[in-house]
């Protein structure tokens, strides 16, 4: 869809593009993100040029030449809009294909339960009004981009309701987010009043809104996604409006068994970019990851994954977070075992799986070597 703002006198000639008509440019200028604004005099052109920084094309159809605008006849303007319309349609098709590709790849990092939830989120976000229930951190920005594509975010946990409403509904001189054709994500709605949620939800579901402190009626082009951390905080009114368009993202503690695989995938991805990742994960480390009580969000877990990948941290050494200090003998055994494994791994990197050579350089017999390779998972069988 091309958002086109034209003078009233050109309405009939450009009617097939369904333009918005204006008599006074300022009355309509801030009601939408325009693709094309047509002007017929230097005064309107000067006002409209502020929109060129948003990618808006300013077109002058009058006989008077205007700097910084596309000067052309109405006939040429019609051809240009037809061409622009085709470009926009093709871009949308490509965006849809790219989104599908991301949805095929990104859930590889997620547990199947998580992947299903995020796929449902992608499907429900096509509704005018939808709800997602997720603990803090489960809607990380990289996940939202992967699932939703381009979107706007208003976080009630960061800004006040009054400031949020100004952004969402706009003013005479500030573009409203509800007028933008796309997805508006409202984060942390648990701390938001029912009145504010009702105002946004009704505008989104009806497709009509009034700019902040105004009685004007404008078209609501945005699809709105309401995020709550707890289901009990969702107002009944919003549940009725959203209907079945709601999804719950399972907390990270419910997918403990899959965390080692997610860790392997994550650090191998980082390793390809940084060339320094250690993708080997011992069984001991895998068990410890499963047993760790993660707070519930991805940030903590992914920060840990990153530190593992670049070698800044090893789970066995996190004594500062342990409730009980291990016995010195047990800890020494653990450190020695880790050092022993690293030494054998280094020898394999140099000499390969030539067992005779490995026994020679490590100073052990064949039976001991076989036992150690199996113990540390270096025998190639797992």
Q: Where are the chain's structural domains?
A: 4-88, 110-250, 253-375
- What are 162's two structure tokens? 């009054």
Angstrom distance (rounded) from CA 270 to CA 263? 11
Q: Which residue has the tokens 């997720």?
A: 134
Using alpha carbons, list the distances in angstroms from residue 105 to 1, 90, 98, 110, 242.
Answer: 29, 23, 11, 10, 29
Provide the CATH topology of domain 110-250.
Rossmann fold (3.40.50)
The per-residue pLDDT for 67 is: 85
Q: Which residue has the tokens 């009058």?
A: 62
User: SS3 for 75?
Assistant: helix
Angstrom distance (rounded) from CA 174 to CA 212? 10
Q: Which residue has the tokens 């054998």?
A: 344
The per-residue pLDDT for 326 is: 56
Of 57, 85, 82, which is closest to residue 71 (Cα–Cα)? 57
User: SS3 for 86?
Assistant: helix
Of 308, 286, 295, 289, which is closest to residue 138 (Cα–Cα)? 295
**What digits encode the pLDDT tens for the residues 370-382?**
888 888 788 765 4
Q: How many residues does the chain have?
A: 382
Spans in the chain with pLDDT lower than 70: 1, 31, 95-111, 142, 172-173, 265-282, 294-299, 302, 306-335, 380-382
């Amino acid at each position: 869809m091309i958002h086109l703002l034209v003078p009233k006198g050109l309405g009939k000639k450009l009617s097939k593009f369904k333009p918005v008509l204006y008599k006074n440019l300022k009355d309509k200028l801030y009601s939408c993100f325009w693709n094309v604004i047509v002007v017929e005099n230097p005064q309107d052109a000067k006002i409209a040029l502020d929109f060129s920084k948003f990618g808006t094309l300013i077109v002058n159809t009058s006989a008077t030449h205007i700097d910084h605008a596309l000067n052309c006849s109405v006939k040429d303007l019609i051809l240009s809009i037809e061409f622009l319309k085709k470009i926009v349609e093709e871009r949308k098709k490509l965006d849809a294909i790219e989104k599908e590709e991301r949805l095929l790849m990104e859930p590889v990092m997620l547990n199947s339960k998580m992947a299903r939830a995020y796929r449902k989120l992608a499907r429900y976000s096509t509704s005018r009004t939808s709800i997602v229930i997720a603990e803090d951190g489960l809607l990380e920005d990289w996940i939202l981009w992967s699932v939703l594509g381009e979107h706007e975010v208003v976080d009630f946990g960061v800004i006040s309701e009054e400031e949020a409403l100004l952004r969402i509904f706009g003013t005479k001189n500030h573009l409203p987010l509800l007028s933008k054709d796309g997805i508006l994500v409202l984060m942390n709605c648990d701390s938001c009043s029912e009145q504010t949620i009702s105002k946004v939800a009704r505008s989104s579901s009806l497709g009509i809104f009034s700019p902040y402190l105004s009685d004007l009626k404008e078209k609501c082009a945005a699809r709105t996604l309401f995020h709550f951390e707890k289901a009990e905080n969702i107002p009944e009114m919003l549940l009725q409006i959203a209907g079945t368009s709601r999804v719950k993202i399972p907390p990270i503690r419910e997918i403990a068994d899959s965390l080692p695989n997610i860790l392997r995938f994550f650090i191998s991805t980082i390793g390809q970019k940084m060339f320094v990742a250690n993708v080997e994960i011992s069984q001991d480390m895998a068990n410890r990851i499963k047993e760790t009580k993660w707070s519930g969000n991805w940030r903590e877990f992914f920060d840990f994954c990153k530190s593992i990948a670049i070698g800044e941290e090893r789970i066995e050494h996190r004594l500062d977070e342990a409730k009980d200090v291990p016995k010195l003998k047990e800890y020494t055994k653990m450190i020695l075992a880790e050092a022993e494994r690293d030494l054998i791994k280094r020898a394999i990197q140099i000499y390969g799986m030539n067992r005779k050579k490995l026994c020679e350089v490590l100073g052990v017999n064949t039976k001991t070597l076989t036992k150690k390779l199996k113990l540390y998972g270096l025998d190639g069988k797992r």
